[in-house]
Amino acid sequence: MTDWFAVSCVLNGTRLPLTPDERKAVVRRLEHRLINHGEPPRLTDVTVERVAELLGCTTRTVERIKQSLPQADRLSCPICREDMWVLLEDGIVEAHPDTFYQRCPMSGEVFEADWEVELANTAVWLSQRLKAGDVLGVWEYLETVQTSHLRRVLVAALAGFSDEVDPFSWLKEAA
């Protein structure tokens, strides 16, 4: 199991011992920022030497990890809004963390970029966060989205209610 908090710490410059899967996650997240020889560096670029220092390995190991990564498109996850990588060969989403450093439910799933699936996945993710006790995090998310998106998420959530069970019975009992 990947320790996403440790991966985040390394990405932010803290040297920690990581498992091979965690090292791959770090290299995947930094590969677009690695300096290519012969190109002028940008402010956000990082050297292979610096990545090797953070991972506690050699530059050859970083290059080997980079070469072993399958080709993928970097997109924004429709559920957690974090960066995700969709493998080009089969459309599977690589494992990635959500905002709370937990494995995102979209990890390992086939990516379908239609808005209905995105809305349903967002409603499921918000429901999972509420069940986990993260009311403030869900509230913060709902305050940051556009009103039109909020309405669509509400409709998707309401469509998910079962007709057989009254989800608001606790309100009727309190009255």
pLDDT in tens, 95-139: 999 988 999 999 999 887 676 677 777 888 888 888 888 888 888
What is the extent of the structural domain holding 48? Answer: 4-69
Question: Looking at the predicted structure, is the pLDDT value of residue 171 above 60?
Answer: no
CA distance 18 to 14: 11
pTM of this structure = 0.62
**Final residue of a domain: which of 69, 100, 124?**
69
- What is the number of structural domains in the chain? 2
3-state helix, strand, coil in the chain (%, to 5): 50, 10, 40
> Do the beta carbons of residue 18 and residue 7 sit within 8 Å?
yes
How remote is the C-alpha of 26 from its chain's centroid? 13
**Final residue of a domain: which of 40, 69, 98?**
69
pLDDT in tens, 31-63: 888 876 666 777 778 889 999 999 999 999 999
